[in-house]
Chain A
Amino acid sequence: MKVTVNMDKRLQHFIDLIIVFTQKDLKVRYKNSFLGYLWSVGHPLAFAIVFYVAFKLIMRVPIENYALFLICGLFPWQWFSNSVSASPMIFLGNAQIIKKINFPRNIIPFALILHDMLHFILAVPVIIVFLYSSGLKPHLSWIIGIPILILAQFCLTYGISLIIASINLFFRDLERLTVIFINILFYATPVFYSETMIPSRYELFLKLNPLTPLIINWRGLFLKGIILWDSIILSLCYGIIFLAIGLVIYKKLSWRFAEVL
């Protein structure tokens, strides 16, 4: 009997930790900026404008509704990229509490990614506005598609962030490498171009990029309401693999965090 009470309390405590940390991130992120949450939409929109000018107006990419096409990929990309770019500093920046208090440290990246996820969800209405302005409509399939894709992207992002955050404590160069890695990954992922434009001999490389099936799915879902089950399953597999690797590395290293900080 007592064991179940303890389990309930531990679970409650774990949930409370996540809530409090996510609230903290939400409160802190835009506390002193006038436009607040609008920045989380403004940033990818500014990118979209740049790419639109560069690729549609100047280089004339043959993609219909290119502005809409761009933001459907840029918003989910932004979630991934924000979380992963912040990950090298995530344990370093919390050195004070990690050195003194014993709590599940993986809460910190978990809350960070949850926070970026909320910003992504809040940006979905912007996509809807763009859809309507292009004469399109949201689809009923979003109700199934969005939660599954969010789950897959959450696992992938959390796994990668855990790996980087943990290893960076012991190997500080990883911080620089992460910046380069994210940059390369952006161009290697079909965000501002369509996967159909890639020569077939490079198709394997495209498949090896864990973000490719995710972005293709997000775009298919937002633009046409299509759910591509085989690439959704591939996304989930990537998510689970990276989550597992991240948790193993974190488990192996976490008890040394206080020594190295």
Chain B
Amino acid sequence: MNDIAISFQNVTKIYPLYHHITGGIKSLLFHPVKAVKSLKSSHFLALKDISFEVKKGEALGIMGKNGAGKSTILGLIAGVLKPTKGKIIVNGRISPLLELGAGFHPELTGRENIILKGVLIGLTRNEILKKMEDIIDFSELGDFIDQPVRIYSSGMLARLGFSIIANLNPEILLIDEILAVGDETFQKKCFNRMLSFKKNGITILFVSHSIENIRFICDRVIWLENQNIKAIDITETIVSKYIGNM
């Protein structure tokens, strides 16, 4: 049991559609019956009865079209969403790599944002300060680290984001289609770092549309289609099926 990092057992996720409530006073006043009824009836099925396990140190890729439920799976693992049915077990601290600049405050400097991001993902300030120089070195941002993040280019934001996550002792990495930005040398550096993570027993969940990147990182792949797992297997098997399906 202890070598399992993430386990989904018959997980179903249904979103109620909230725009009926957020329609506000007006719909509540003028169409009270309809408003209340619509609350009960409108749902959106995001994941249907999904089960899988990820071992510690494994890199699992998630592929699928837009709306297939990839982000919902990441949200459930991160603990920001609750499953409607089923059970999810996560062993380890989650480090989510967010899309460009998310979770940074534009007016704060790179250095201040490192601390902000660090405490958000669950570390104490001391732990972050100890790693500060490693993070700055890895990011290759130089003097820009003391400039406000709002003047960063998108490549620089990506560097900072990955450097923080990569150097703050991650246990489970969630990566959501992020590494498409930044120059090629830095991308290579990121992928090499991820490979060394795998060697050190860090679990990686990698959501991507890039078959090339999935091939490079992942041991196994989940193929999502219509809110369900269409196939789960070692990378080569899934990738060749996926390409055949396109």
> Is there contact, CB below 8 Å, between B16 and A101?
no
Instruction: Known A20-B116, A97-B102; judge A172-B79 contact (CB<8 A).
Output: no
Instruction: Known A13-B124, A171-B24; judge A20-B18 contact (CB<8 A).
Output: no
> Is there contact, CB below 8 Å, between B103 and A96?
yes
Q: How large is the interface on A (under 10, 10 to 19, 20 to 34, 35 or more residues)?
A: 20 to 34
Docked pose: A24 CA to B111 CA in angstroms: 12
Instruction: Known A12-B124, A27-B108; judge A100-B96 contact (CB<8 A).
Output: yes
Residues 70-114 of A, flagged 1 when their CB comes within 8 A of B and 0 if not, give: 000000000000000000000000001111111100000000000
Instruction: Known A31-B107, A100-B103, A170-B21; judge A24-B116 contact (CB<8 A).
Output: yes
> Is there contact, CB below 8 Å, between B107 and A28?
yes
Cβ 8 A contact of B119, one of A13, A32, A171: A13
Instruction: Known A97-B102, A100-B96; judge A9-B124 contact (CB<8 A).
Output: yes
Can you name the residue of chain A whose Cβ is closest to the Cβ of B109?
A: A27
Instruction: Known A100-B96, A255-B82, A259-B81; judge A20-B119 contact (CB<8 A).
Output: yes
Instruction: Known A171-B22, A173-B25; judge A101-B121 contact (CB<8 A).
Output: yes
Q: Is B80 an interface residue (CB 8 A)?
A: yes
> Is there contact, CB below 8 Å, between B24 and A172?
yes
Cβ 8 A contact of B102, one of A23, A96, A173, A257: A96
Q: Is A41 an interface residue (CB 8 A)?
A: no
> Is there contact, CB below 8 Å, between A24 and B112?
yes
Residues 19-46 of B, flagged 1 when their CB comes within 8 A of A and 0 if not, give: 0011011000000000000000000000
What are the residues of chain A within 8 A of B116 when measuring CB–CB? 20-21, 24
From 18 to 41 in chain A, residues with beta carbon under 8 angstroms from any chain B beta carbon are 19-21, 23-24, 27-28, 31-32
Identify whether the interface residues of A are mostly helix, strand, loop, or mixed: helix
Docked pose: A32 CA to B107 CA in angstroms: 9
What are the residues of chain B within 8 A of A101 when measuring CB–CB? 78, 80, 96, 98, 103, 120-121
Instruction: Known A98-B80, A258-B80, A258-B81; judge A103-B122 contact (CB<8 A).
Output: yes
Query: How many B residues face the partner with a CB closer than 8 A?
Result: 31
Q: Is A260 an interface residue (CB 8 A)?
A: yes
Docked pose: A255 CA to B80 CA in angstroms: 7
Cβ 8 A contact of A259, one of B15, B24, B98, B115: B15
What are the residues of chain B within 8 A of A32 when measuring CB–CB? 107
Docked pose: A171 CA to B25 CA in angstroms: 8
> Could you tell me the distance in whole angstroms from the C-beta of A29 to the nearest C-beta in chain B?
9
> Is there contact, CB below 8 Å, between A13 and B122?
yes
> Could you tell me the distance in whole angstroms from the C-beta of A171 to the nearest C-beta in chain B?
6
> Is there contact, CB below 8 Å, between B22 and A170?
yes
Residues 74-107 of B, flagged 1 when their CB comes within 8 A of A and 0 if not, give: 0100111110000000000010101000110101
From 154 to 204 in chain B, residues with beta carbon under 8 angstroms from any chain A beta carbon are none
Can you name the residue of chain A whose Cβ is closest to the Cβ of B102?
A: A96
> Is there contact, CB below 8 Å, between B21 and A102?
no
What are the residues of chain A within 8 A of B241 when measuring CB–CB? none
> Is there contact, CB below 8 Å, between B75 and A19?
no
Can you name the residue of chain B whose Cβ is closest to the Cβ of A96?
A: B102
Q: Is A203 an interface residue (CB 8 A)?
A: no
What are the residues of chain A within 8 A of B96 when measuring CB–CB? 100-101
Docked pose: A28 CA to B112 CA in angstroms: 11
Can you name the residue of chain B whose Cβ is closest to the Cβ of A18?
A: B119
Cβ 8 A contact of A97, one of B15, B75, B120, B125: B120
> Could you tell me the distance in whole angstroms from the C-beta of A156 to the nearest C-beta in chain B?
26
Can you name the residue of chain B whose Cβ is closest to the Cβ of A105?
A: B80
What are the residues of chain B within 8 A of A27 when measuring CB–CB? 107-108, 112
What are the residues of chain B within 8 A of A121 when measuring CB–CB? none
> Could you tell me the distance in whole angstroms from the C-beta of B97 to the nearest C-beta in chain A?
9
What are the residues of chain B within 8 A of A97 when measuring CB–CB? 98, 102-103, 120
What are the residues of chain A within 8 A of B121 when measuring CB–CB? 101, 103
Query: Nearest 6 A-B pairs (CB), nearest first?
Result: A102-B79, A258-B80, A173-B24, A96-B102, A16-B125, A97-B103
Extra 13 A-B pairs, beta carbons < 8 Å, given A20-B116, A259-B15:
A16-B124, A24-B105, A24-B108, A27-B112, A28-B107, A28-B108, A101-B96, A101-B103, A101-B120, A102-B79, A103-B122, A255-B82, A258-B75
| Chain B positions near chain A (C-beta within 8 angstroms) | 15-16, 18, 21-22, 24-25, 75, 78-82, 94, 96, 98, 102-103, 105, 107-108, 112, 115-116, 119-125
